[in-house]
Structure 1
Amino acid sequence: MKTRPRLLSPAALTVGAVSFTVFAWASAFVSIRSAGAAYSPGALALGRLLTASLVLVALLLIRREGLPPRGAWRGIVVSGLVWFCGYTVALNWGERLVDAGTAALLVNTGPILMALLAARLLGEALPPRLMAGMGVSFVGAVVVGLSMSSGGDGSTSVLGVVLCLLAAVAYATGVVAQKPALSFGSPLQITAYSCLTGAVACLPFAGQLVAELPGAPLSATLNMAYLGVVPTALAFITWSYALARMPAAKLGSTTYAVPAVVVLLSWVFLGEVPAWLTLAGGVLCLAGVAVSRTRARSRERVAA
């Protein structure tokens, strides 16, 4: 009996998963900016995670996947509290104070932190130029902060930058915590139970969500539902799928494309164009990423 050939290779599936995640997460910055005008940061986070949890639990039931093994729970809990809850609330709050493109540029300093944490905690390779790249990206984040603070209300602008940087730290920490858990459970299991953990942690905002839901415009509520279904439920599954097959630092580098996509989407849908100094800071952030990746490419060429 002949076996049917696979339509897509594992490498192609991984590339597809990464590509979907990048575009879904880029669209999230725009949706957060839109929905955040009607919902407070905690309420938006809870609504997003509750929507995602419904989708993920339904997928668990359809695929008949039960509880993940005991070894996965440490990573699930840390990822759920720090990434799904902490990152989401911090980013929602930060995007009330800075535009979507700036928020994406700041959050995408996270992959450099991710590489450092992965080297320290997971034993992944730490290229020598990574520290230099991190320094350049830090200067870029400072430039972004100065450009925002010079635009008027300096305190709120600086607060927005700080919140987005905190979101970057939470993002990096959550990914590194999630990586070992994927050796015990499936991407769907790890994503679903991390999301449920984050939703439980956001329950203190339930009163705000109930109070704000009736008065919110339909577009804001639809954006909140979109955030739960696509950038959270589906994109976190595809991210976990790729993370189980790639080093955390290498996968993190793929999200450097997010800011460019966000700036384009925010310009098209929100009419937001960052100031030139903000763009210059963003270029420095991405230049630091390029510096941190140069060594790895050089080694690949030498090996070849």
Structure 2
Amino acid sequence: MKTDRDLSLPALLVTVAVWASAFVGIRAVGDTFSPGSLTLGRLAVGALALTFFARPRSTALPTGRPLLLVALYGVVWFGAYNIALNAAERDLDAGTTALIVNVGPIFAAVIAGFLYREGFPRPLMIGMGIAFGGVILIALSADNPSTGVETASTTGVLLCVAAAAFYAFGALAQKPALKHMQPVMSVWLGCLVGVVVCLPFAPALVAELGSASAHDIGWLVYLGVFPTAIGFSTWSYALKRISTGQAASTTYLVPAVATLISWAVLDEVPAALAFVGGVLCLVGVAITRLKIRRRSTPSRTLTTPAS
């Protein structure tokens, strides 16, 4: 019997590329669109782009618990995450924002510790300490004039941490939901939930579109089609086939790619101390992925990376 070829790795590489570009696009239109209206516009474009591929008229919609999971990640990830991220990038450059948001896997591990009773092993606690030490360094560096940031950047750092937590909640809720629907359908429904949540920002979006340039509107459409419709679909395709931890660990590449794109497009480079803090964040996340394996003799242990 012929089986479908697993394209998880190529799908995740596409996700990394378009999600990295999203940090740059959000930063580029931050002065034109407010956080809520940008989220609404992006999700509306994404939902429209996915309507044909999701085929809602010919595909059974989820009910019961799967539908509740869709509502959860639609509100938390597609709605709250994007609003927090958009607000954060008013205070921080794209590369720095991407570095902080990538502590999301730590929050996922903590949430899993509570929900799935996985506990809080030593690597998790050590990694958390290192990663959040990195966040503190980034916060200390964020007021550096060389980054071009003129507002209270500590607020931006806190918003990034909140966005990372929303990302973790969303990923953990989407994983079980994917057992009951196709990836494109899961993203389409998430976008629709996010649109409903963000409807109060519709008047602001209409007003801001009226004064936006063609360049800014182009970025808005790009954010809706590529990072949202395509990026979330390729992510969901991979997440359906591999573990949440494996999928999340691939996104460690996003900060580096986002920094390079931001440097080329916006001429923005994070401060040196932010780079150091970012490295600590990634090292901390990597440590949380370690597992302690016990040998046959109870007195000795071996720590190895998680598979």
- Give the TM-score normalised by the residue count of structure 1: 0.90
Corresponding residue SS for 2:241 = coil
Per the alignment, residue 60 of structure 1 pairs with 54
Per the alignment, residue 299 of structure 2 pairs with none
Per the alignment, residue 280 of structure 2 pairs with 284
Per the alignment, residue 264 of structure 1 pairs with 260
Corresponding residue SS for 2:59 = coil
Native 8 Å contact 1:106 1:141 kept in 2: yes
Per the alignment, residue 39 of structure 1 pairs with 33
**In the aligned structure 2, how far is the partner of 1:227 from the partner of 1:25?**
9
Correspondence list, 1:133-282, <5 A: 133-149=127-143, 151=145, 156-282=152-278
Shift of 1:231: 0.6
Moved more, 160-169 or 184-193: 184-193
Correspondence list, 1:123-138, <5 A: 128-138=122-132
Native 8 Å contact 2:139 2:157 kept in 1: yes
Amino acid corresponding to residue 266 of structure 2 in structure 1: L
- Give the TM-score normalised by the residue count of structure 2: 0.89
**In the aligned structure 1, how far is the partner of 2:265 from the partner of 2:82?**
21
- Taking only the aligned residue pairs, the percentage that are identical comes to 46
Deviations 1:226-268 (A, max 9, x none): 1111111111111111112222122211111110111111011
Structure 2: which 5+ runs fail to align?
A: 294-301
Shift of 1:71: 2.8
Native 8 Å contact 2:92 2:149 kept in 1: no
Q: CA RMSD in A?
A: 2.4
How many residues get paired? 297
Amino acid corresponding to residue 135 of structure 1 in structure 2: G
Corresponding residue SS for 2:211 = coil
Normalized per residue, the structure richer in helix is: 1
Per the alignment, residue 93 of structure 2 pairs with 99
Per the alignment, residue 20 of structure 1 pairs with 14
Shift of 1:301: 8.0
Amino acid corresponding to residue 67 of structure 2 in structure 1: W
Structure 1: which 5+ runs fail to align?
A: none
User: Is 1:78 matched up with 2:72?
Assistant: yes
Native 8 Å contact 2:94 2:258 kept in 1: yes
**In the aligned structure 2, how far is the partner of 1:180 from the partner of 1:22?**
22
Moved more, 242-251 or 16-25: 242-251
**In the aligned structure 2, how far is the partner of 1:118 from the partner of 1:27?**
29
Native 8 Å contact 2:290 2:305 kept in 1: no
Shift of 1:97: 0.8
**In the aligned structure 2, how far is the partner of 1:245 from the partner of 1:123?**
23
Moved more, 181-190 or 214-223: 181-190
